[in-house]
Amino acid sequence: MAELSLTWNWIDGAWVEGNAPIMGTRSHASWLSSTVFDGARAFEGVTPDLDLHCQRVNDSALALGLKPTMQPGQMMELVAEGLKKFPSDAAVYIKPMYWGEIEGIGTIAPDPDGTRFALCLFEAGMAPKDTAISLTLSPFRRPTLETMPVNAKAGCLYPNNARALVEARSRGFDNAIVLDMLGNVAELTTANVFMVKDGAVHTPAWNGTFLNGITRRRVIKLMRDAGIEVHERTLGYGDFLDADEIFSSGNYFKVVPVNRIEDRDLQPGPIAARAKDLYWDYSHG
C-alpha cells in the first residue's frame, strides 16, 4: 500500500493526523453511500474561491437529504488553522465532507439529524507546468437528475466516472470525454472541458447532468472579462475532433491543455495558456 501524503483532519472538535477512521459497519454512509464532499485548493499561499467550495458542500448535503452542521465561514476558519500544520510551500487539497451516520426513512434514507462533518486536508502537488493530456470518447454516459443526485457533489456519482477513466487508461489515454444521455458532450471524467475554434471558446452548456464546476465558472468569467469570446452551448463529439484547441478546468489541476484526441495530435494553444494565466493572476490577486 502506497504511503499517504501528510494529512490532517478536523473531526468532532479536534485535529487528528493521518487516515482517520470516521465510520462503522452500521454507519449509513458506509453501505448506502450517503456522502458528499467538496474540493478546494491551497497553493502558493492562496486558496481561490474557498468560500464557494464551502457553500457548495452545504448545498450538496441538502440535495442528498443531509443536514449541514457547519457554516462556510466556520469551515474557512478551520482551513486557515489546519494549513498551519503544513509546510508553507505545500500544495494542499481541502476536502470538507458530510455523511449520514444514522438510518432514516425505510432504512435506505439517512436521518438528517444524524449528519456528521469532517474536514480533511492533505498534501497533493499541482500539475507540472508542461502537463498536457490525451483524450478519447468514453462508452459510459452521465446520468440525469431522474436517475442520480447529479445536483450534489456526492460520492455515489464517482464510480461511474471512475470506470470511464479506467477504461480510457486501458486504451492508452489519460482521460475521456463523457456524453450525457442525449449523446451530447458533458465533461471529462475528472474535469470540465473546453474547445477552441477560430479563436472562440466553446464549452458544454450546463444542463444538470454534470458538475457546474467552480473553476469552470471562474475561468469562463475571467476569459469573458479579458475579451475572449466564450459560448456555452450544445456540443457533439465531432466538434471536439475538429477543434483547434482543447483544454480542461478542474479544482485538482486547474487548467490543463490537451495534446491528443483519439489519433489526432494537438499542440497546446494560446487560448488555453491565456486561460491558465488569467486563473493564476486571479488566484494571486
Q: Tell me the per-residue pLDDT of 22-53, one tens digit each, with 9 for 90 and over.
A: 999 999 999 999 999 999 999 999 999 999 99
Instruction: Please say whether the beta carbons of 115 and 72 come within 8 A.
Output: no
Runs of H (alpha helix) within 16-104 = 28-32, 50-63, 72-83
**Grid cell 478519447 in the structure block, residue:** 136
Instruction: Convert the pLDDT of each residue in 183-193 to its tens digit.
Output: 999 999 999 99
Instruction: Tell me if 238 sits within 8 A of 207, measured CB to CB.
Output: no
Task: Give 52-107 pLDDT, tens digit per residue.
Answer: 999 999 999 999 999 999 999 999 999 999 999 999 999 999 999 999 999 999 99
Residue 131: pLDDT over 60: yes
Q: What is the pLDDT of residues 162-182, one digit of tens each?
A: 999 999 999 999 999 999 999
- Is the pLDDT reported for residue 200 higher than 60? yes
Contacts of residue 80, Cβ cutoff 8 Å, sequence gap at least 6: none
7-123 under CATH 1.10.10.10, yes or no? no
At 219-257, the pLDDT tens digits run 999 999 999 999 999 999 999 999 999 999 998 899 999
Residue 86 CA to residue 124 CA, distance in Å, equals: 11
Where are the domains positioned within the chain? 7-123, 133-150+157-284
Q: How confident is the model at residue 1 (pLDDT cuts 50, 70, 90)?
A: low
Q: What is the pTM of this model?
A: 0.95
CB burial of 101-117 (b: ≥16 within 10 Å; e: otherwise) equals bebbeeeeebbbebbbb
CA distance 39 to 171: 28
Question: What is the average per-residue pLDDT within 5-18?
Answer: 98
Q: Among 1-10, 95-104, 140-149, 195-204, which is the least confidently predicted range?
A: 1-10
| Residue 82, SS3 per DSSP | helix
Indicate the CATH number for domain 133-150+157-284: 3.20.10.10
Q: What is the pLDDT of residue 252?
A: 87
CA distance 83 to 86: 6
Phi and psi based region of residue 169 (left: phi greater than 0; alpha: psi -120 to 50; beta: remaining): alpha
Q: Does the pLDDT of residue 20 top 80, yes or no?
A: yes
